[in-house]
Structure 1
Amino acid sequence: MSEKDNLLQADGKLENQSTENSAKTEEKKVTEPTENQEIPESQDEVLNEIEAVNAEDAEDEDTKGRHEIEVKDYHAMELEELVAELERLVKDEKAQAIKTHVEEIRAEFKTKFNVLLEDKKEEFLNEGGNEIDFHYSSPIHKQFKETYFVYRDKLKTHYQSIEKNHKDNLAERLRIIEEIKGLINVEENINTTYKYFKELQEQWRNAGAIPRDKYNNAWNTYHHHVEIFYDFLHLNRDLRDLDFKHNLDQKLKIIERAEELAQDDNLNRAFRELQVLHKLWKEDLGPVAKENRDEIWNRFKAATKIIHDKRQDYFKDLDKIYELNLETKHAIISKIEAISKQPVKSHSAWQNKIKEIETLRKEFFSAGKVPVKVNEATWSKFKDVVRDFNRNKNTFYKDLKKEQHNNLDKKLALIKIAEENKNSEDFETTTPLMKKIQNEWKNIGHVPRRDSDKIWKQFKGACNHYFNKFHATKDAENKESLEIYNKKKELLDTMKTLEMSGDNKQDLQLIKDHIAQWKALGAVPQNKRYIEGKYSKALDALFDGLKMDKEEAEMIKFENKLENLSNANDSRFLDNERSFIRKKIDEVKGEINQLENNLLFFKHVKDDNPLVKEVYKNIEKHKSTLALWKTKLSKIKELY
């Protein structure tokens, strides 16, 4: 337990117990004056505090553990941490020593669990549930209740066991008081009487704990009759003065220690030891000579007041700390409120906001305590802004779930189509359909996570079944075409390594022979048609190495190209080639017209002018190109 928490706990406890004990003492007044009654309890706050705690300790002899058990920051703990701490305390500590700890843990657990319960209920209602049907069972809640009941049983057993002892001890102390009262009427040797008095004092010290509401009355009565006995001892001043001197020496030591504690900065430790000193003063030591009583009591009380005042100043500073904590928590609440108002339209964005809120939530719990008067209001405001955020989040995911369920229906419809057509052998009709539903699947969007893998496997299985069958059928049909492809691949490798002899006629015939072999092999499968492009490049390289008319070589390559286009069994290829040639013809015609128009600028220039010669040269070149394109166009027309 921190020093701050110990002092706060003691302060609250003392205030309540002081009022209770004062009332009970008032009810059972002792008319005889005692040493401590020189300063009435109602007029001395610090004595009230010490008397109250010592009265509580008198009811439970085992108080050491209560002071030393750490009180942690339960407000900053999550549900699981609270239960773990409760289990540890119940297992390792005595039930009567952890009452404050347990009740604080219980209050925090109840608050946090109620928030969780509200969130779960809201999620249930958002998903379409009926409020009357809502039920949430949590293992952590069950674990907490079981541990708390174990604590209550232990505490009950403890109090039952000490109740009888308290009554017996009280009876014993009352008997001792009666014995002391009777000593002044005993007619025997004063030394014998004094010895018996000391025995009674020892019996009193060992009599054990009594109920706290009887504590002050019993002690005041006891001290009253002890003082009467000492007054009786005037018959034997030596014994009385010896005892007075012993008590004075011991009380002076107590005062000196109290004055040392008044300078101690550890207020929690100083106040605890001060309680012990007051207990020794009251319970273990008898009176001193009358002429010393006021002096030493006032000196002891002065040191006590210094400690008390320092504690009060500490609590004032503590209030300032609590105010700063309050400002921090208000700032956190404002941040959460701002985040809650920000528009969020995607799952990833919501996940980022959820992480931000969780971080702020932990900061709130770690910010420390706030003034008691605003604690409930601050906690309530915090719950409200977090609840608003959760409502917005739940609304988004509710709409998202609705959209995902619609997507699920769409994908189930596509699965139905895929399943109905997976065994179809009408490949020309079914293949475009299957490709179409595959594209639609990609564009539909997310479905509920629990269904995602299942429906994807089902859809993929139906599509794969169809396309595996389709490819198997096509592979069987294209077996011969695949063999052609392999032969053309071998021929292409040969053409790439051909060595020309240098004899133009002989080399041209060699190329034509390879062209003839290529044509004779036939068509390759559609998915292997890329080899025709490689063949055209290899053929271009061979022609480029020949010393022959370029137009002749160009027409040989073009006729070979046309044959490949015709073998493709797709008129679109020929149509595209015809459109391309017509476009080239128009472009060349345009170039010629432009050049002829340019000659008009040189009509007064002689024909042997270099510029004019260059223009005429270009016109002839373009006319030659135009003739070649027209020849190619006529070759295509022959195929239609």
Structure 2
Amino acid sequence: MELLQNSEQTQQTEVSAPQPNDTTTSQETSTSFQSMTAQQLVDQLALLLQQDELPERKIVEQIRGQFIRRKERQNESNATEQGDLEAQEIRLGELLASFKERDRKRQEALEALYQENKGKKEALISRFEELFKSNEEGAEFGELYAKFTHIRDEWNAVGALDPKEQAALNKRFYELRDEFYDLKAINDDLRQYDFKKNLEAKQALLQELRSLDDVKDVITAHRKLQEITAQWHELGPVAKELRQEINTEFKQLAGAQHKRHQDFHDKRKATEEENLQAKTNICAKVEELLLDGALTTHNAWVKATEQIKEMQAEWRTIGYAPRKDNDMIYQRFRAGVDAFFRHRSEFAKKAREHSDEVLKVKQELIERAKALRESTDWEATAEAFKQLQKEWQEAGSVSQKYSQKIWEEFRENFDYFFDRRKKEGTRKSDIYHEARKSLAIKREILKELTAINEGEEPENLRDLLAEYNDRWKQAGAVPHKDKEAINAAYRELLDALHGKLRKHRSERRLSGYGASLGNLDAKGSNLQTEHARLQRHLDRQRAELQTYENNLTFLNVSSKSGSSLLSEIERKRDHLIADIELTEQKLRLLLQKEQEAEQEVQE
């Protein structure tokens, strides 16, 4: 929203515009504007512009200033209020443009009136100068005085002049007027009478000047000083013996008021400079807040938003900056605040998207917790719940709208499971005690099996292994943390001992197979048929081995059931490898037998 006029145009308009006699009216008008809303301010300006007489510039400036204050106090989060304010701002701009155009035309008309009045007063001065020539030619004083009175009345009737030219013309007129009063041909009684009246009037003006010290509003006092000064110069002289004294007193009183007015403007200028510096510091803080790089969390943005609001409140407490800087510094502050809230909106959008992703993750954790709550594997499930809780914390935070609800739902599964475990505490203690006994028994079995494995092989090894297997089963369950290790040690010893049995068994089977080859012809068979059969058997074994290998590759061993299954498949694979080696040995033995048969045929 641009300013209505530059400072020079404002000064000219204020000189030409009629001043109110009662300053209270202006103050009441300003107060009424302060109580209006933004829309009421714009409506008031529209009503004033509809009148025949154009309103004073200071009234329009007050309306505009009050509107800007409404805009500064607008609620950033209320989109409806912000939209209404923007619409009113557009209306205000149009009305100000209309006023500016009409005021320009009024100023042009005023300039023309100034020129016309200047011409009239220059003509009156010429006529005044002619009176002195008439006096020199011996004209009757009464006739001269009548002409003087007529010229004086016409002079007073002429309207205002351009302030730049008014002083010189008035000075010339007052000089001629004083010279006219000093004419030796003037009637002494008339002169004394005029002197007396002028003295009374000037003493009254002096009293008004003294009373200006009691006027607290310096601007109002200065305007009144201008009125008194104009009236003083319009009055004629007093007696010569009193002129210097009364003029000196007038200059002293008027000078004191001029100094008071100048001090006021100097102080206001200094205050405006201080206000500019204070507002510049606030702008720098806003800009520094955006460049800080620490606004990466929700709490950081909340804290920064509070700081921005405090800066906005502080801004409203600071008065105007110098006219040439006031709009510029406001635009800088407005741009910084707008940029802050724009970045905050972008962060909030990304935070909502992230919160939605975290919500999905935590809902999945809730489902996993529900699946565990009925478990009776107390130790393993307790560890699983701890892992879920760790994942929950690492997942991040969600919107406050869902935070408490999903946490209570997640936590309810924990409470349910651990309440069950607590109720089972006594029974669990007994089970654990029995498991420790079972562990001791199984460790003793492992010692005995280790001694057998490291010593000479007993003849009844197969029977011994069956007995140890029965003792192992009867020993019962061991503590969960020891289960995997002790079972693995037991399987390892069993595999070693069964390996010895399989070795002897393979040797016996191979020896028996060699002896059976001599009986093939007696049974109605032959070596070629046996070779084909044995080869097919070997192919099936190798295919089965490949299946085991594939299962071992793709088997998920993350769970305890997967680990047990893996061990079982590995044992079957090892047995199958031993059987394949036996079949291959049989094929080599059969091949040797075929070669011997071919040699016998050739001989």
Taking structure 1 as the reference length, the TM-score comes to: 0.44
More RCO (CA 8 Å, sep 6+)? 1
Q: Which has the larger radius of gyration?
A: 2
Taking structure 2 as the reference length, the TM-score comes to: 0.46
